[in-house]
Amino acid sequence: MAKRNGPRCWIGIDEAGYGPNLGPLVMTAVVAAGEGADRPDLWNELAGLVDRAGGQSDRLWVDDSKRVYAGRKGRDRLRDGTLAVLASAGLGIPADVRNLIAVLDPTDSTYGELSGWLEPPLVPESLPSTPLTTLRCDRWAVVAAHARVVGPARFNQLVAEEGTKAGAHGRIFQEVVKAAWDGRGESTCNLQADKHGGRHRYLALLHRAWPDAWIERGLEGAVTSQYRLTRSGRHLEIEFRVRADRDDGLVALASMVSKYVRERWMEQFHGFWSRRVAGLRPTAGYPTDARRYRSQIETTALSLGMAHTRWWRER
């Protein structure tokens, strides 16, 4: 699709937690604004400050969250990336996990259903040992971040309403895009996201979210699916790409924020249950180990009057 110069914004979207049975699905949009037609190239335009996972240890690692998390001090590096995004967007440094979720999604008073597992004292947010990286250059700057933290009960509800897990994912994606784009003032924004579950066609999803918009369809294939949405004189160029979280810096940052928020949510969730079930080992929430965890907490959950649909994702 044609590139246009002038003031514009760029959005990167990615999620963490689509596959597990325990914990939330977290989807984040990281927004940059500036000049020019090309998307921000963090690894070149911020070459002295950021690096790929496994790169210079004194730089901020920006990459697919799985690659960052797998490295030495991976969780700390996810935290550093998340705090850099929040600081660059003017959202401040969160005091704890409750505040972390609240600044990313101020519309959700339950903190993505984490409120049911919150018990004092909350673990304070740790700070990086080096100064925070500011994600900006002469041409652009990170200016906003928006997330949806979808706990098990709401995820189950969305699957029931949509009929499929992919449909629930699409609803969450619509919410995040609306939060990131609807309030922007630029006439043109460019959005990149990872492909959703191998899907290649997204036109129906976009029409459902913006029924009053004109949507042009570009390439639709195994590698990329492209669309241009026009509404009220504003344009949103959308591209779903395979491995966008490795190829695009904003998508990589969204991946890192989503992963870090999910890890902090799961930490609080496990803390609740480990105080009630002796010898309970933590879990990442993926199917095989999630069943082990469920078998260990289910009796206690029932004794507390907690139906499994409150904490177990059916799909």
pLDDT in tens, 170-211: 999 999 999 999 989 999 999 999 998 778 999 999 999 999
Predicted local distance difference test score (pLDDT) of residue 120: 86
- Inside any domain, residue 315: no
Predicted local distance difference test score (pLDDT) of residue 80: 96
Distance between CA 269 and CA 278 in Å, rounded? 15
Segment 228-257 shows an average pLDDT of 96
- Inside any domain, residue 273: yes
Domains of the chain: total: 1
Distance between CA 37 and CA 175 in Å, rounded? 26
Predicted local distance difference test score (pLDDT) of residue 6: 66
Phi, psi of 231 (to 5 degrees): -150, 125
DSSP assignment, residue 133?
A: P
- Inside any domain, residue 87: yes
Predicted local distance difference test score (pLDDT) of residue 2: 43
H/E segment holding residue 186: none
Q: Which range marks the domain in which residue 37 is found?
A: 8-310
Q: Assess whether pLDDT exceeds 70 at residue 3.
A: no
- Inside any domain, residue 221: yes
Residue count of the chain? 315
Distance between CA 1 and CA 3 in Å, rounded? 7
Predicted local distance difference test score (pLDDT) of residue 1: 45
- Inside any domain, residue 227: yes
- Inside any domain, residue 62: yes
Q: Assess whether pLDDT exceeds 80 at residue 4.
A: no
User: Residue 164's domain is classified under what CATH number?
Assistant: 3.30.420.10
Which residues are bridge partners to 293 per DSSP? Answer: none
Q: Assess whether pLDDT exceeds 70 at residue 137.
A: yes
Predicted local distance difference test score (pLDDT) of residue 199: 85
Which of 153, 150, 152 lies closest to 174, judged by CA?
150
- Inside any domain, residue 1: no
- Inside any domain, residue 301: yes
